[in-house]
Structure 1
């Protein structure tokens, strides 16, 4: 029996299309129908490109009929985060300022997905300019996790995570400057990888060097590790206009079936400094034991990061505030007046974060670099003894919209980012993934698996081993 297209993975769809079990037009029609039937549940999509998707699917079908070479994603639907450009499609960036902006060209990784045969079916929701770890904006409103739409999907790739978990689309890459791939993966029960910095090129303009402080990169989000590796293979590789881009380290898909016998994994739910909800910790302990059964050696040991979670977050905020502040000049260069007549069109939280924020001094900025260096050294020291580090992705499960946690396990935290354990790896540029680890009261929990630079293959191999031992694919809401 042939499975319905919306039940198949990206790799499964690519095989079914090549084998003639499904046609590209059939697949795209099924995906578009499901998006229109279910998007109101979570508000995952901002824009649905029905006409364009059907045109591309018809062209993909013609290529099959005429025996042309097929790419690895031929006919496979993909959704693009509304921060990234798809030629001829609007990119709102979640802002009323760009509500009607239409992209003139594709972002580089989008062009690579298209060249591999993928069919763009729409744009997924994101907070304004991607500045948030939950997803809400004044263009499209909030996005919820499919496990409980009244609760947050995470951010800033929250629309991507929700679209995957609700089986609206099989692939939905995101971007990550502080956890924006991994947090939605955790809260939506899908797989998300922030690869080693530079693996997926980021051709940012007007500042080609903006992605270094803190490190930010695009990354795959998918329902399976194989799908993430497949799309990473397509998106990865050097680009002459990204000064940080690096060559691929082999075929990432090959790592999915690699045994993990002999891998040494350090397990530290809170990295020795972050409070973690006891129920989340218990779920992670159950999940990490599966890695031992798969052949890895697991020791509970904390990295020596040299700073408290608050000090690490403060350093991150210092760096990010400088980076976010450059948005002000970019908007002015594009003809907007963010400090004047356009101020009321921005979300109040964004105004507080950028427009009214006190700019760090040069001394504070350099002091943050020292914190960053100690975090790097602590992780490098750990990776000298262990191949990988397993932690919580988020210290809590998805919470109701607008009710950010102020306390975790009796410890007071900064409510907006104090519950995420993702930022250290944006300070270091090391690869880190969020893998579905289980559930607490029906809500998903993610395990973060990180490694040294260019150990993306090991991260994928361990993720796939956990997936085989504790599969999650039948747990998504119907």
Structure 2
């Protein structure tokens, strides 16, 4: 097997055994990036090759730090890596060199990772399509005419194209799920609060976005999650390390799996997505699980209204200074201006009422998980679309009233901080990949990963159907 086809844990074991060196792995990685990144545009801000080779040789000469020792990683371009630019996809920050690592990057380095650059993201991470005026658009390795999804589109495409073996990402509205599904890889939104967030932001009010892992196998997903988790004394919501890897290969038992489909007709889907999802569900049932349809447990409209209120409130807090400055406002893309304008116009009681709806849905979901172990939804409502399109304006003939309405299917989990694993679900008749969201109760991250591992052992979709670039 080519060393770039190996997952990160296999690379790690081979490095520890001396089967190849970190320098050889770095050389192969840089050659692969040179070969395919011009077509995919997933890795950005790539560091100088001589410096990276020197760092890889230093890793070969040093005691092993951890399971990522000597493994190349690129960090999503919303997180700070000391000495690299953090553009956030905005021309306002294209020269903003980070003075220090974010906590998540420090943890990757402590485990031995060699940070080679960044992965592309939409401007400020807004939208499930990875394009921005600084680095351009990331294309789908399965069809370069199409979107790779977002906002962790660069990470997902780099994984699929074998430029990386494991990657970090973040997820507010499907950003670890939609691109994973569209690139035939795994992505995980952990239980909210499990992975420390941005320490420099307000620490208590906003509970929508989280960091998380992406990989070509659940084992790598689990290993990276365990590396990323753990309390940060400078943040109030941290938890103990997830420690999911030791039990990953244990059978999950016979699970009660609830299929939510189109949420009782509330969610439109492109033709072919639901039938292809149901094919995957039958295969999941064949692994010994009870898969049954579940009636809509909560109003989709109520969730959506609460979601866009809380999301705009959150986005506005981060971008208000740019928006309120006449010299910088026009540098924000239209979607960002819309979000911030909405957020700034809200009063406190509007936000409170949205959070009351969120609380009602949380209580209802908790009751639902008394009878169901895992809920399932598709990871996106549309197939990968034209890379030159800003966003889908209609789905199945239904007009989309916002730039992100076409991703409403991810809101039920995001709104209340539930853990979700995207599993590759196969391919449609159009030859494009799709994913399924495995959604669990808070704290069920380990269970979801065990189910994903069982699925992976039976399917190995990332390995069975790699892209041809």
TM-score between the two structures when normalised by the length of structure 1: 0.92
Shift of 1:210: 5.2
Q: Is the 8 A contact 1:79 1:124 kept in 2?
A: yes
Q: 1:281 aligns with which of 270, 274, 280?
A: 274
What is the distance in 1 between the residues matched to 2:386 and 2:357? 33
Aligned 1:122-137 pairs, distance under 5 A: 122-137=117-132
Say if 2:53 is the partner of 1:60.
Answer: no
SS of equivalent residue, structure 1 residue 6: coil
CA deviation after TM superposition for structure 1 residue 338, in Å: 5.4
Q: 8 Å contact 1:258–1:461 — kept in the other structure? A: yes
State which of 235, 249, 257 in structure 2 corresponds to 1:257: 249
Counterpart of 1:158? 153
SS in 1 for 2:405: coil
Indicate how the Cα distance of structure 1 residues 446 and 104 shifts in structure 2: closer, same or farther if over 3 A, else same: same
- Over aligned residue pairs, what C-alpha RMSD do you find? 1.9
Q: How does 1:52-451 map to 2 (within 5 A)?
A: 52-63=51-62, 68-209=63-204, 211-212=206-207, 215-249=208-242, 251-272=243-264, 273-305=266-298, 307-308=299-300, 310-329=301-320, 331=322, 339-355=325-341, 359-401=345-387, 402=389, 404-414=391-401, 416-420=403-407, 421-440=409-428, 441-451=430-440
Separation in 1, partners of 2:440, 2:410: 13
Number of the residue aligned with 1:458? 447
Structure 1 stretches of 5 or more lacking a match?
332-336
Cα deviation, residue 387, structure 1? 0.9
What residue is the counterpart of 1:334 in the other structure?
none
- Determine which of 35, 46, 49 is the counterpart of 1:48: 46
Asked whether the 8 Å contact 1:199–1:246 carries over to 2, the reply is: yes
Supply the distance in 2 between the matched residues of 1:459 and 1:216 (Cα, whole angstroms).
19
Deviation at 1:51, TM superposition (A): 4.2
Uncovered stretches (5+) of structure 2, i.e. residues with no partner: none
Task: State the Cα distance separating 1:5 from its structure 2 match.
Answer: 2.1
The one-character-per-residue Cα deviations of 1:364-414 (angstroms, maximum 9, x if unpaired) are: 222211221232223212111011111111112111131633443444444
Stretch of structure 1 that moved more, 382-391 or 291-300: 291-300
The offset of 1:327, in angstroms, is 2.3
**Mean CA deviation greater in 292-301 or 268-277:** 268-277
The structure-2 alpha-carbon separation of the partners of 1:423 and 1:27, relative to structure 1 and needing over 3 Å to count, comes to same
User: Of 36, 39, 57, which aligns to 1:38?
Assistant: 36
Question: Residues 165-222 of structure 1, C-alpha deviation per residue, up to 9 Å, x if partnerless?
Answer: 111111111011111111111111110000011111113314223542xx21100011
Cα pair distance change 1:71/1:384, threshold 3 Å: same
Q: After TM superposition, what 4+ stretches of structure 1 lie above 4 angstroms from structure 2?
A: 355-358
Alignment match of 2:18 (pick from 20, 24, 29): 20
DSSP-derived class of the 2:136 partner: coil
Q: Shift of residue 243 of structure 1?
A: 1.1
TM-score relative to the length of structure 2: 0.94
Are 1:220 and 1:231, in contact at CA under 8 Å, matched by a contact in 2?
Answer: yes
- Structure 1's 9 and 200: CA in aligned 2 closer, same or farther, altered over 3 A? same
Please say which of residues 255-264 and 124-133 is displaced more in the overlay. 255-264
> Is the alpha carbon distance of 1:206 and 1:451 closer, same or farther for their aligned partners in structure 2, counting shifts above 3 Å?
closer
Q: Is the 8 A contact 1:322 1:359 kept in 2?
A: no
CA offset at residue 299 of structure 1? 1.4
SS at match of 1:261: coil
Alpha-carbon offset, residue 259 of structure 1: 1.1
Identify the range of structure 1 (388-397 vs 412-421) with the bigger mean alpha-carbon deviation: 412-421
